[in-house]
Amino acid sequence: MFRIGQGFDVHQLTAGRPLIIGGVEISHDKGLLGHSDADVLLHTVADACLGAIGEGDIGRHFPDTDPAFKDADSSKLLAHVWKIVKEKGFVLGNVDCTIIAQQPKMAPHIERMRENIANLLEGSLEQVNVKATTTERLGFPGREEGIAAQAVILLQKQ
């Protein structure tokens, strides 16, 4: 049996925060604002996983009112979500992600993001694709007010 899930997340860009995307800290003049480390890509992958298994979303599992998740490492949140996925008997088919950001360039960091996601989802590099696009300066990503990410995941029941 196969299950498909999709995720979408947005975080605001602000000065004085680190920019962490896909578990990679990227040198930039602004970072993403959130209750956790605001890793928009890992949140999106976590939501895609939860969607595929019918388990709601990360806000339900890790409420942003809970001090336990203040500045949380999103790798740990995704690892917890993946444990739930495994307990339900699923393995990774593949996951395809898009980061929507005008700046900075994601290309130099994409391979490390893929490695991080493959490790967290206990898959191979070939099962994980990460890409990036600008919005040609249009809308909130284009004005560099925020960064969005989306993901589609396929899970297979063992």
Ligand X SMILES: C[C@@]1(CO)OP(=O)(O)OP(=O)(O)OC[C@H]1O
CB of 67 to ligand X, least distance (A): 10
Structure tokens at 144: 């560099």
d(CA 62, CA 35): 10
Which of 133, 139, 143, 156 binds ligand L45E5XJ5 (CB under 6 A)? It is 133
Whether residue 65 is annotated as binding a ligand: the answer is yes
Nearer to ligand X, 34 or 51 (CB): 34
Structure tokens at 59: 């806000």
Nearer to ligand X, 127 or 141 (CB): 141
Nearer to ligand L45E5XJ5, 21 or 81 (CB): 21
CB of 32 to ligand X, least distance (A): 8
Nearer to ligand X, 18 or 108 (CB): 18
Compute the half-sphere exposure of residue 147: CA atoms within 13 Å on the CB side of its CA.
30
Could you tell which of ligand X, ligand L45E5XJ5, none binds residue 132, using a CB distance below 5 to 8 A set by kind?
A: ligand L45E5XJ5
CB of 41 to ligand X, least distance (A): 11
Q: Where along the sequence are the contacts to ligand L45E5XJ5 (CB under 6 A)?
A: 101, 105-107, 132-134
Annotated binding site: 9-11, 35-36, 43, 57-59, 62-66, 101-107, 133-136, 140, 143
